[in-house]
Amino acid sequence: MLARTPSHSPGPMARAFHRFGHNKAALFGVCIIMPMLAMILSYPLWWTFKPNDIDLLAMNSGPTATHWFGTDGVGRDVFVRVLEGGRISLLVAVASTIISAIIGFLVGAISALAGRWADAVTMRFVDLVMTLPPVIFLLVLASIAGTGIWPTVLVISLLSWPLLSRMIRSRLLELRERDFVLASRGMGAGLGHLLFRHGLPNSIDILVVYATLQIANAILLEAGLSFLGLGIAPPAASWGNMLNAARSTAVLEQFPWQWLFPGGALILAVLAINFIGDGLRDAFDPRAELN
């Protein structure tokens, strides 16, 4: 008789992505965001206009074969400015999410693994940051940091990390009582070893879900700051300052393409990323293992 080969069940990551692949809303989000990303990243290769090129013969022109999304009040192509605005918005969102994820992980992990006094001091600081009114805190930081891509990244990063730090701390408080962590401590492992050898691998699911949802939140924050004149300053394009430029009653009524297309791109991007984030959250949910 032939020996039966033992069957290996898939690991938790494989099961999570299998569940993600069966989430229709998440797949719908992927189908929206991937073409948008391809167009945003590749448009200089195939589109003839640049974001600040001016066509004096086509000011406030509606959509045509030459200008697919029409032009604005000074003759700039709205289509290429929507794509450039998406590039800047995504750069701000991704960069601020990476920075806030690093800060949130380090604060939460140090609080959980560095001892009682470190936990008490760190969490009181987190509590202080979380009690500040977010809108006022955001506006104050923006007014101090100024306008531009990197000041906007800094502002959003400093606003976004406290919630992640609490989630990381909650996960690692349970982890630090596990036998393998206690054994590492007993063999003299330092804080750095505990953070990156044990804390980080056991927090990947939290970080992935947080990063996905935070990118959508950061896009909205950047658009709001730019709309208020505190984010990306003209003539650089972003979805927020394009909406700000089109806020007058005359533009809203007579030239709707100047706000419909950047507003629609903002809504589609945020909706798609939120669908993906919700799908990842459900896929990594431990309770899904019981279903």
- The residues, ordered by sequence, that sit 6+ positions from 132 with a Cβ below 8 Å of its Cβ are none
Residue 283 is predicted with a pLDDT of 84
Upstream peptide bond of 201 is cis (omega within 30 degrees of 0): no
Domain locations in the chain as residue ranges: 24-39+77-285
pLDDT, tens digit (0-9, with 9 covering 90-100), for 197-217: 888 888 888 898 899 999 999
Query: Residue 155 to residues 98, 135, 181: CA-CA distances in angstroms?
Result: 13, 12, 36
- The phi and psi torsions of 59 (rounded to 5 degrees) equal -70, 135
Amino acid at 259: W
pLDDT, tens digit (0-9, with 9 covering 90-100), for 36-78: 999 999 999 988 889 888 888 888 888 998 889 999 888 899 9
Alpha helices in 246-290 (DSSP H): 249-254, 257-284
- The phi and psi torsions of 103 (rounded to 5 degrees) equal -65, -45
Residue 95 is predicted with a pLDDT of 95
pLDDT > 50? residue 18? yes
pTM higher than 0.75, yes or no? Answer: yes
CA 83 to chain centre: 18
Residue 53 or residue 138, greater confidence: 53
Rounded to an integer, what distance in angstroms lies between the CA atom of residue 274 and that of residue 260? 21
Contact 257, 265 (CB under 8 A): no
- The residues, ordered by sequence, that sit 6+ positions from 279 with a Cβ below 8 Å of its Cβ are 20, 23, 25, 26, 27, 29
Average pLDDT of the segment spanning 152-173: 89
CATH number belonging to domain 24-39+77-285: 1.10.3720.10
3-state secondary structure of 287: helix
Count CB neighbours of 249 within 10 A. 7
